Amino acid sequence: MEIKKINTETQAPISNGHRPGDFDEFIGQDHIKGVIKTAIDSAKKRKGHIGHILFSGPSGFGKTTMAGIISKQSSVNIKTVTGYAITKPAEIISILNSLQEGDILFIDEIHRLRPNIEEVLYIAMEDFVIDMVMPE
C-alpha cells in the first residue's frame, strides 16, 4: 500500500474560499435571487436598506452563503452568530447594540433561540428599539 504525501502548503481546505461570492455564482434559487436583487437595487435607489429576511431550509442549501452575498452586494457588514450560543437576553441586546446602521445580523440555527431571547429580538425587529429595565 502506497501512501501519498499531500503538500499542505498548496492545498487549501475545501471549505475556505469556495462559497459563491455573488448571485451569478450561486446556483439555483433563481426566483429568490431575483426578488433579493430587486430589494437590494430598490434600497440603493432610495438610499435605504433592505428589510428583514428569514431563510428556511435544510442544512447545506445556501442560507449562510446567500446572507454573505446580500451583505457584499449591499456593501454592508454582516455579523453571524449561532442561535443556541445566545443564552441570555443581555447577549442578544449586546449583539444588536454592536450593529451599525445597515449591518446584517445573520442568526444561524435561529430556531434554537430561547423564547425569552426571541421576544427581545421580535421587539427589536418590529419597532427598531430595545426595551431594557435599568436598576435604580
pLDDT tens for each residue of 43-97: 999 999 999 999 998 888 899 999 999 999 999 999 999 999 999 999 999 999 9
Does the residue 92 lie in any domain? Answer: yes
CA distance 34 to 23: 9
Q: Per-residue pLDDT tens for 1-10?
A: 444 444 434 3
Does the residue 134 lie in any domain? Answer: no
* 111's grid cell: 430556531
* 51's grid cell: 428589510
* 70's grid cell: 446580500
- 60 lies in which domain range? 30-127
CATH number, domain at 61? 3.40.50.300
CA distance 132 to 89: 10
pLDDT score recorded for residue 135: 66
Does the residue 75 lie in any domain? Answer: yes
Count CA atoms closer than 13 A to 116's CA, side-chain side.
6
Which of the four pLDDT bands, split at 50, 70 and 90, describes residue 17?
A: low
Does the residue 23 lie in any domain? Answer: no
Does the residue 20 lie in any domain? Answer: no
* Counted domains in the chain: 1
For residues 24-52, give the mean pLDDT. Answer: 94
Does the residue 5 lie in any domain? Answer: no
Does the residue 136 lie in any domain? Answer: no
